[in-house]
Structure 1
Amino acid sequence: MNHPTRRSALLAGAGAATAVGLAACGSADQETSSGTAASSGGSGTTTVKLQLQWVTQGQFAGYFAALDQGYYSDEGLDVQILEGGSDIVPQTVLAQGQADYAIAWVPKALASREQGAAITNVAQIYQRSGTLQVSFTKTGITAVEGLKGKKVGNWGFGNEYELFAAMTAAGLDPSSDVELVQQQFDMLGLLQGDIDAAQAMTYNEFAQLLEAENPDTGSLFTAADFNVLNWNDVGTAMLQDAVWASTEKLADTAYQQQTVKFLKASIKGWVFARDNPEEARDIVVAKGSTLGASHQLWQVNEVNKLVWPAAGGAGLIDATAWEQTVQIAMDTKNAEGQTVITEEPDEDAWTNDYVQQALDELTSAGVDVKGAAFAPETVTLAAGGA
């Protein structure tokens, strides 16, 4: 579904040829006709900085694949991928002009927007949530109601809202019906028995459990050892990894063109990761990932499940999923009684204008942007993810 904004008129006025024309050019000291600064790389390419929300890993395989396979350079872009970390807020880096695009979860980015960050979601790469709540089967937690009276781990920092929304919908008060435990970004709390149900991403922490040794058997744990609450099934999933752009710069034709080109190459990178998961894994490992090869293949495979299939095309923002995310962000309170946002975001919060153009171009070139036949691989994890 296309979300019309005031930028639609700008794009229409520019015409299809302009929208897909040459990449913006100039130098760091030059300005475009609208006064927006542009930077140039070598050989007439435009330098573009992409801020990730975490370190180099399979979570971002599509962007690394697009860089490695030359998809960005094919569009006249010299893309520099900036690693994230615990002390880096990608949407803030974008809003402050230190990056051209950023990868961030929608609720976190919406909170930043409400606080003044002028950013717009231009492509929803992850179509589904990758967050789980995991417990050992012996705890008997097979439904959200089963969390009552249990020690429930969560990372905080806006990662807890799907969990809190699920508990609220199940009639549980997160502040009194469970014992909330501040969880580290690992699974040690669950493995050591300090947490009954721990937060995990399908593509990372859940794999950490399956890479750990079961002390009762001497073998690695298996999926059968755990119960999993999946927020996509429960109905409280929120949109996660999306490409965010500068709202103010989207008023500039050159930045609009650049955005289409960037999204086109990025989506092509995700298509590569879908069709070549082992090669995508190797690319990520070569880029400096500190995680092992089997863990990274698991990541790429699980992330592919979040991206594909994409009914409207990879990156297209689904209005229903957006509205659900916004509603949960406005209605669900954290342990301190605060919601993610206090009011519905304005129309500049998202647009399908640019990603739709990118999808149309790729489709015309014969690229499968929907992945209807996508089938994930079966990945065997090694001890420690090696």
Structure 2
Amino acid sequence: MKRLLTAAFAVISMTASAGAADIPIKFTLDWKIQGVHSWFYLAKEKGYFAAEGLDVTIDQGEGSAATVTRIMSGAYDAGFGDMNAIIQNAATNPDEAPVMVYQIYNQPPFAVLTKAGGKVESLSGLEGLKVGGPAGSASTKLFPALAEAAGFDAAKVEIINVAPNLQEQMLIQDQVDASLVFNVTSYLNILGQNMDPDEDFKWFPYGEAGLDIYSNGVMVSPKLLNDHPDAVKGLVSAIAKAMADVIANPAEGIDIIVKTEPLSNGALEMKRMEFALNNLIYSDETKANGIGTVDPERLTRSIAVIQKLYDLPNAPEASAVFDDAFLPATQ
């Protein structure tokens, strides 16, 4: 955790920005309250949003892509959601698409999950096998792009539509040979079944296989961006400050999650948060450049992947989907 703390503080200014005054912001999560949302709730609990002149209301979400839809509908001003959904909408509806202002998941959370000692020794070994994936999920949608990046034929893989809550069970029961998962969720689901996700399973992360895309971060509506840029800066500053607090003292983050959602399992949410920090948030890129920013060249490559995969009419410029103007100053 020490190196995470160093990386986080490299991009965080502890000085509150001025100019935002009592501005209400409706903020949507990507899913139900989890350990990976602790910094949002901590920023509210510790008064970091209030110190920036912001009145932030946080609601649970319905999926990473749904965050974009909620913001575009006008129901929310900001949220935690998927960069790739922004890219899709920026290509087709550029005036209404949200803009990412603080990239939290530097690495994609998508993975192929198999049983240790099973049929799959490499991704090319998926050819001729049955693979479970929820219809419409990002992990399933991105599978052809993964195959191209990893050098195997996706057409030779039989994709079985499975319910998200049955993915791990079907794999354990050998109803499928592999599952296309959101790793930070599956990791905890496996622990919940009293199995060891590291010893009993093999993980093939999409990012390590060459699918070089970004994922979830903090996005805002064009209206908030244009009408209240100081509020956007304050929002990012408060979240970054709270992230530093959680990295320095993870128990503080889990405490606020359990306080907010008493049915949460604090021990499991701690494991979820630690998994996300070490596998999704912290990377060579964040070590070099800090948490929250992106590499423009990598983002441009990511946009090209998404354009091809979804047959988008154009490739948005990197500056149209990510704005680094609101990042905290480095120390």
* TM-score in same-fold range (> 0.5): yes
The amino acid across from 1:250 in the alignment is: L
Residues 1:308 and 2:289 are matched in the alignment: no
Residues 1:49 and 2:49 are matched in the alignment: no
- Candidates 150, 157, 174, aligned match of 1:193: 174
Between the two proteins, what is the percent identity of the paired residues? Answer: 22
Say which SS state the counterpart of residue 74 (structure 2) adopts.
coil
- Candidates 18, 36, 42, aligned match of 1:21: 18
**Mapped contact 1:202–1:302 kept (Cα < 8 A):** no
Say which SS state the counterpart of residue 244 (structure 1) adopts.
strand
C-alpha distance in 1, partners of 2:250/2:113? 26
C-alpha distance in 1, partners of 2:151/2:282? 33
**Mapped contact 1:161–1:329 kept (Cα < 8 A):** no
> In the TM superposition, what is the alpha-carbon distance from 1:21 to its structure 2 partner?
2.3
Match of 1:298 in 2: 271
C-alpha distance in 2, partners of 1:158/1:342? 20
**Mapped contact 1:210–1:223 kept (Cα < 8 A):** no
Residues 1:138 and 2:109 are matched in the alignment: no
Compared CA separation, residues 294 and 340, structure 1 to 2 (3 A): farther
Say which SS state the counterpart of residue 49 (structure 2) adopts.
helix
C-alpha distance in 1, partners of 2:273/2:19? 32
Match of 1:345 in 2: 316
**Mapped contact 1:56–1:288 kept (Cα < 8 A):** yes
C-alpha distance in 2, partners of 1:48/1:109? 19
Residues 1:184 and 2:159 are matched in the alignment: no
Match of 1:204 in 2: 185
Residues 1:247 and 2:244 are matched in the alignment: no
Unaligned runs of 5+ in 2: 1-15
> In the TM superposition, what is the alpha-carbon distance from 1:138 to its structure 2 partner?
2.8
- Candidates 148, 157, 175, aligned match of 1:168: 148
C-alpha distance in 2, partners of 1:248/1:79? 16
The amino acid across from 2:53 in the alignment is: G
Deviations 1:320-376 (A, max 9, x none): 3312321221223xxxxxx16342114422211111xx234xx3xxxxxxxxxxxxx
Deviates more, 1:136-145 or 1:111-120: 111-120
| TM-score, normalised by the number of residues in structure 2 | 0.84
Say which SS state the counterpart of residue 320 (structure 2) adopts.
helix
C-alpha distance in 2, partners of 1:88/1:141? 30
Say which SS state the counterpart of residue 164 (structure 2) adopts.
coil
Deviates more, 1:258-267 or 1:95-104: 95-104
**Mapped contact 1:57–1:285 kept (Cα < 8 A):** no
The amino acid across from 2:110 in the alignment is: T
> In the TM superposition, what is the alpha-carbon distance from 1:147 to its structure 2 partner?
0.7
Residues 1:232 and 2:207 are matched in the alignment: yes
C-alpha distance in 1, partners of 2:262/2:124? 38
Say which SS state the counterpart of residue 246 (structure 2) adopts.
helix
Unaligned runs of 5+ in 1: 1-18, 25-44, 214-219, 333-338, 364-386
Match of 2:137 in 1: 157
Compared CA separation, residues 290 and 160, structure 1 to 2 (3 A): farther
Compared CA separation, residues 323 and 183, structure 1 to 2 (3 A): farther
Say which SS state the counterpart of residue 123 (structure 1) adopts.
strand
Deviations 1:153-188 (A, max 9, x none): 2233333344322212344332x3011012322322
> In the TM superposition, what is the alpha-carbon distance from 1:222 to its structure 2 partner?
5.0
Compared CA separation, residues 86 and 244, structure 1 to 2 (3 A): closer
**Mapped contact 2:29–2:67 kept (Cα < 8 A):** yes
- Number of residue pairs matched? 306
Task: Spell out structure 1 runs of 4+ moving beyond 4 A.
Answer: none
Match of 1:263 in 2: 236
Compared CA separation, residues 256 and 93, structure 1 to 2 (3 A): same
> In the TM superposition, what is the alpha-carbon distance from 1:88 to its structure 2 partner?
8.3
C-alpha distance in 2, partners of 1:331/1:340? 5
Match of 2:258 in 1: 285
Structure whose alpha-carbon radius of gyration is higher: 1
C-alpha distance in 2, partners of 1:103/1:323? 21
Please state which structure has a larger fraction of its residues in helix. Answer: 2
The amino acid across from 2:153 in the alignment is: D
Deviations 1:106-150 (A, max 9, x none): 112222333323321111111112222110123231221011111
Higher relative contact order (CA 8 A, sep 6+): 2
C-alpha distance in 2, partners of 1:312/1:284? 29
Match of 2:329 in 1: 359
The amino acid across from 1:23 in the alignment is: A
Q: Compute the RMSD of aligned alpha carbons.
A: 2.3
- Candidates 74, 97, 102, aligned match of 1:123: 102
Match of 1:91 in 2: 68
Match of 1:81 in 2: 58
The amino acid across from 2:176 in the alignment is: I
